[in-house]
Structure 1
C-alpha cells in the first residue's frame, strides 16, 4: 500500500534499532506495582523466576500513592514459554506472540521518538539529565512526559492487536479492566503495562489459543483505557494530527484510532436483484443510489466526494408494516455493494446488530454496539451496517420496559451517529429498520438522516409482479394481459412518488400546510418555507433543528438525483480508480440545481413520517389505556358477581 498525502513513513531502521533494548526488557525487568496490586496464591512456582498465578486486588483506580508493594521481577518471555502446561519446546504461536510484542513495543518507542522530536521533548530530556532544565519549563516537561506515556501505551496496544489479529481463533478471554496505567514517562508506562500483561498471561493462558486471546484482549482493554485518559490530557495535538505508516506491516497509526486489517466479511445471505424488490420505489431507488455513492469513496484521501458535497446518506431509517420488504431491501443493497466491491477489488464489510447483542452483564451490550460501529466505520473498508427491528434492540429512554442493556445500545448509537466525535467519511452507511418506528427513542430516530418508507406492493400491477416473481418457473400458468415488471421501471415510478409529496399525506400535517398557505400564499421563498417549518414545529414540538438538518441533507441528496452510470461500476478505470479531484469534478458535472419543489417535497416527506410516528404512538397508547379500562371493568364485574 502506498503512502497517502497525510502519512509519514515510520522507517524500518528506526523500529529495528529498538530491538536489542526491547528484547532485554521482555527478558526481564523489575517493577513495583502502584495501582494494580497482585497477591500470590498458594500455587507453587512452575520454574525459577516465573511467579505463580495471581489475583488482582485493586485500589482506587487512577489514584497513585507511595506504594508499599515489593518490587517484582517480570520475565515476560519466560512467562509465555511456560503458558502451555510445561512443554519444554517453544511452540510456533508462542514464538509469534513473542515477536509481536517485541515488534509492537519497538513501534511504540519509534513513534514516541517522533513525538519527542516534534515537540522538543527530546531536548528537554537531555537538559534534565544534565541538570540544566529551567524551572519555568518543568511543568511543560511533565505534561510532555505524560503525553509521551499515553502515546507509547496506545501505540503498543494498537500494534499488538493489529499484528495478532490474523492469529486469533474462536477462543475468547475476559481479562477485565487494565489498572496499571502510569504516565510518568514512556519507559515506566511500558513497565506497568507489561507487568499487568504478565499477570493476565499467568492467570488466563493455559494453552496457545488462550495465550493469543489473552494478549489480544489485554491490548484492546489497554487501548480503551488509554483513549479515555487521553480525552482530558494535554500536549497531544502533534500525535492526533499526524499519521505514520509502517510499510513492512501495512500498519497505519492515526492518533487514538484503532488500526485494523482491511478484511472483507464473508456474506452468507441470499442477495436480491432490484427487479425482485416489488413496490417500495423511493426506498429502492435511494438504496441503489447509495450503493453506488459508497463506491465513490477515495481510499487515499479517506473521503467521499458525495460526503464533501453534502449528498451522502450516513444513516437512514426504513419503516413499514411487517412483510412489506425491509429484509429484501437489505439483501438487495448488500448484494449490490458486494458485487461492486468485488469488481473493484475493495474490501467490503456487512454486519447486522441484532437482539443477540443485548447482554445481561453490565456494560457488555454497549461494548457489543461499539464493536459493531467500529467494524463498519473502519476507513480502510466499504461498510454497510444494519440494525433490524431497532425498536426491540434499542431502548426508549423513560420507558420502564427498556432494559439496561437496551439503553446502553441506544446511548452508543446516538453518540456514534451524530455525536461530537462523529466523522462522516463516506465509506459506510447505517440502516435502521423497524415495523414500529414510533417505539424508537425520538432522539435516536431523528439521527436517521433519510427516511425510507417501505410500504411494499401497492398497485394492482405490483401485486401481479410479486405473484409472478414468487411463483417461480415450475408451472404453466399464463401471465395474461400484463407486462411483467413494467410497473417497476424505477425512474418513472420514483418521479411519481416524489411528485405525490407536493402535498402532505398525513392529515395533521395537511392542516398545517393548508393554514400556512392560506396565510402567506405559495411557498416560493426561503422565508415562506421557514414559516411553514415553524408551523410544523408548533404542531409537533419534536420537530427541532435536527429535523431541519435532515431535510436539507435530503434536499442535497435530491440535487444528486442521478445514478452513477453502470459502466463506471463495471469498468473501475472509468471512475473508481480515478484520483479524488477527478471523481469530484465528474460528480459535479452530473449535479442538478435545487428547486423549490424539491424542498417542499422533502419537507413533506420528512414531516409526514414524524406525524405518522406520532399518530401511531398516540393510537398505541390509547389502545393500551382502553384495554386497561376494559380489564378493570371486567374485574369489578367478576368481583361483584362473586360476592
Structure 2
C-alpha cells in the first residue's frame, strides 16, 4: 500500500528517545488541578454487596496498606497496579496498559517535537529560553504553545485508544466529560490529562476488565473534547496538512481523525448471488456497481477516484412492500464486497444499526449510533453500513410517538450523512431500508443521495424464476417453456427499467409532467428542465434544493453507467493495486456523456419516490385523524348516555 506524498515516517528512535520522560510521568508528578475536581466522589453502587471503590495495595508482597500520597501527587503506575484488589503481583493486563500508555505518551511527544520543527514554535522556544523573545511575538508564541498542547493531547489519546483496541471486551465504562484540558503547553497538557485519568481509574476500575474499558473510554472522550477545541484554534496548519506513520504499530497520525486497526467484521449472514435477486433490476444493478466502486478506494491517498470524479453513492434508501427483497439485496451486496475484499486482501467491515441500539438512558442511543457511523467510516477499511427498518429506528421529529432515543438517532444520522463535518472519502456507503419510508423524517430521508425502489418480482418471467429458485432441486417437476434467469439479464432489464422512467409513474407527478409538457413542449434544455423542477416544487413543497442535489448526483452516477470489468476484481494487479492517478485515469476513460434523457429519467425517478412517500404519509395521517374522530364521537355518545 503506497503512502501519501505528505506522509512522514515517525522513526522508532525518535519515539524511544522519549521513553524516560514518559516513564517518569507514569511513576509520579505533582499536579494542582485547575478545572477538574480535586476530590473524587464515590461512584454509585452497581449491585448489592459490591463496592464501587477498590482497596489500594502496595506492590510489596506481604505489606497491605492504603496509599498515602501528598495532595496533588499523581502516581498513575501505582494506581494501575492497584486495580485488582488484593493481588500483590502486577497482572498481564496492567502491564499491557502501562506499556500502551508509555508508548502513547512517547508518540505524542515525538509528534509534538516534529510539529515544533516544521512550525515556528521551535525557534520561538529557543528565543524564549535565551530571554530574547520579542514582545511582538509573544501572542504568536502563546498560540503555538496552545496548538502544541492540543496536538499532544490528541495524539496521546488517539494512540492510547488504538493500542488498546485489541484488548477491549464488551465491558463499557462511562467516565463522563473530560474536564482538565489545559493548553499552556504540551507538558502541562499531559499533566492534566494523566491526573484526570488517574482519578477515573480510581473511581471506575475495580478490576482488569474495567481498567482497559476505563482507559479506552477516557481516551475516546479526550479525543472528542480536543477535536472540538481544535475546530477554532489557530496555528494548526502544519499539523493538519501532514501525517506521520509509526511503522512498528501500523499507526498513522492524520490530523484530528481517530486511527483504528484495519479489522474486518466477522460476517455470519447468508450471502446471495446476483441471479438470486429476482426483479428489482435498477436496485440490483446499482448495488453491484456500488460494490465495485467501493473497491476503487485508494488506501494510500485515502480517497476514491469516484468520489472525486462524481457519481459515488454515499447514502441510499431502499423502500418497498414487505417481502419484496430488501434483505436479499443487502445479502447480495455484502457478499460481493466480502468476496472482492478477500481477493484483494482488504479489510471489510459490515455493520447494521438495529432496534437493539435504542437505549432508555439519555444520550446512550446517540452514542450507539455515533459508534456505528464511526466504525463504518473508518478510512482503513472498506465499509458497508445498513439501517434496516429505519422507520422504527429513527424518530420523526414532531411525532409524539417517537421516543427520545429514536430522536437522538435521527439527529446523529442527519449530522453524519450531510453535516458540516461530513467527509466522503469513498471507502464506505450507508444503506437505509424501510417498508414504510413515509414514516421516516423528511430531512433524514432527503439525505439519501440515491433511491432504490425494491418492488420485487413484477413480470411473469420474474415469478417463474423466483419459483424455480426457491423450489430448489429436490423435485422432478419439469420446467416447461422458459429459459431460466434470462429475464434477469441485468443490462437488458436495467435499460428497460430506466426507459420506463421517461414518464412519471405516480399519478400526482404525471399530472405535473403533462401540464409542463403541454406548456413548454419537450424537456430538452436546462431552462425547460428547471421549469419542470419548479412545477414539482409547487406541487410538493418538500421538493427542495437538496432534492436537486440528489438528482444531479444520480445523473453523475448515470454518467458512470458502467460496471468495472469483473477481471479487475479477480486480478487485483489489473486495477486495485494501481496507484491513485492511474485508477482515476482508467475510470475516466469509461465515462459516458450525460444526456437529456438521463436527466429526465432521474428527475422522474426521484420525484416519483417523493410523491409516493408523500401520498402514503398523507393517507396514514388521514386514517389516523378518521380514527381519532371516530373515537371522539363514540366517547361523546357514551358520555351523554351516562349523563342521562
Q: Residue 486 of structure 2 corresponds to which residue in structure 1?
A: 486
Q: Residue 463 of structure 1 corresponds to which residue in structure 2?
A: 463
Q: Residue 334 of structure 1 corresponds to which residue in structure 2?
A: 334
Q: CA deviation at 1:114?
A: 1.3
8 Å contact kept, 1:32–1:70:
no
| 1:353-391 CA-partner distances (Å, limit 9, x unpaired) | 111111122221111111111111111110000011111
Q: Secondary structure at the match of 1:349?
A: strand
Q: CA deviation at 1:261?
A: 0.7
Q: CA deviation at 1:429?
A: 0.5
Q: Residue 63 of structure 1 corresponds to which residue in structure 2?
A: none
Q: Residue 553 of structure 1 corresponds to which residue in structure 2?
A: 553
Q: Residue 563 of structure 1 corresponds to which residue in structure 2?
A: 563
Q: CA deviation at 1:494?
A: 0.8
Q: CA deviation at 1:2?
A: 5.1
Distance 1:40 1:358, change over 3 A: closer
8 Å contact kept, 2:40–2:203:
no
Q: CA deviation at 1:52?
A: 6.3
8 Å contact kept, 2:57–2:88:
no
8 Å contact kept, 2:57–2:67:
no
* Distance (Å, rounded) in 2 between the aligned partners of 1:21 and 1:335: 49
- Describe how 1:342-381 pairs up with structure 2 within 5 A: 342-381=342-381
Q: CA deviation at 1:46?
A: 3.2
Q: CA deviation at 1:404?
A: 1.8
Q: CA deviation at 1:70?
A: 7.9
**2:60 aligned with 1:46:** no
Q: Residue 49 of structure 2 corresponds to which residue in structure 1?
A: none
**2:424 aligned with 1:424:** yes
| 1:552-607 CA-partner distances (Å, limit 9, x unpaired) | 11111111111111111111111111111221222122211111111100000001
Task: Please identify runs of 4+ aligned residues in structure 1 that moved more than 6 A.
Answer: 40-44, 48-54
Q: Residue 410 of structure 1 corresponds to which residue in structure 2?
A: 410
Q: Residue 454 of structure 1 corresponds to which residue in structure 2?
A: 454
Segments of 5+ residues of structure 2 without an aligned counterpart are 43-52
* Distance (Å, rounded) in 2 between the aligned partners of 1:51 and 1:128: 46
Distance 1:162 1:511, change over 3 A: same
Q: CA deviation at 1:619?
A: 0.7
* Distance (Å, rounded) in 2 between the aligned partners of 1:257 and 1:590: 33
Q: Residue 24 of structure 1 corresponds to which residue in structure 2?
A: 24
| 1:263-304 CA-partner distances (Å, limit 9, x unpaired) | 100000111111111111110111011111111111112111
Q: Secondary structure at the match of 1:482?
A: coil
8 Å contact kept, 2:56–2:79:
no
- Describe how 1:121-270 pairs up with structure 2 within 5 A: 121-270=121-270
- Describe how 1:71-110 pairs up with structure 2 within 5 A: 71-110=71-110
Q: CA deviation at 1:131?
A: 2.5
Q: Residue 509 of structure 1 corresponds to which residue in structure 2?
A: 509
* Distance (Å, rounded) in 2 between the aligned partners of 1:612 and 1:141: 60
Q: CA deviation at 1:476?
A: 2.1
* Distance (Å, rounded) in 1 between the aligned partners of 2:173 and 2:299: 34
* Distance (Å, rounded) in 1 between the aligned partners of 2:260 and 2:435: 35
* Distance (Å, rounded) in 1 between the aligned partners of 2:338 and 2:532: 42
* Distance (Å, rounded) in 1 between the aligned partners of 2:213 and 2:416: 27
Q: Secondary structure at the match of 1:350?
A: strand
Distance 1:40 1:588, change over 3 A: closer
8 Å contact kept, 2:281–2:494:
yes
8 Å contact kept, 1:320–1:453:
yes
Q: Secondary structure at the match of 1:193?
A: helix
Q: Residue 285 of structure 1 corresponds to which residue in structure 2?
A: 285
**2:314 aligned with 1:323:** no
| 1:16-67 CA-partner distances (Å, limit 9, x unpaired) | 111111111211101111122133679875349999699xxxxxxxxxxxxx
Q: Secondary structure at the match of 1:46?
A: coil
8 Å contact kept, 1:324–1:454:
yes
Q: Residue 579 of structure 1 corresponds to which residue in structure 2?
A: 579
TM-score normalised by length of structure 2? 0.94
Segments of 5+ residues of structure 1 without an aligned counterpart are 55-68
Q: Residue 66 of structure 1 corresponds to which residue in structure 2?
A: none
* Distance (Å, rounded) in 2 between the aligned partners of 1:48 and 1:431: 53
* Distance (Å, rounded) in 2 between the aligned partners of 1:441 and 1:530: 26
* Distance (Å, rounded) in 2 between the aligned partners of 1:520 and 1:613: 28
* Distance (Å, rounded) in 2 between the aligned partners of 1:112 and 1:401: 51
Q: Secondary structure at the match of 2:38?
A: strand
* Distance (Å, rounded) in 2 between the aligned partners of 1:613 and 1:40: 53
Q: Residue 474 of structure 2 corresponds to which residue in structure 1?
A: 474
RMSD: 2.0
* Distance (Å, rounded) in 2 between the aligned partners of 1:529 and 1:480: 48
Distance 1:51 1:165, change over 3 A: farther
**2:12 aligned with 1:12:** yes
**2:634 aligned with 1:634:** yes
Distance 1:230 1:51, change over 3 A: farther
Q: CA deviation at 1:633?
A: 2.5
* Distance (Å, rounded) in 2 between the aligned partners of 1:30 and 1:537: 65
8 Å contact kept, 1:12–1:246:
yes
Q: CA deviation at 1:473?
A: 2.0
TM-score normalised by length of structure 1? 0.94
8 Å contact kept, 1:33–1:71:
no
Q: CA deviation at 1:172?
A: 2.5
8 Å contact kept, 2:291–2:337:
yes
**2:609 aligned with 1:609:** yes
Q: Residue 596 of structure 2 corresponds to which residue in structure 1?
A: 596
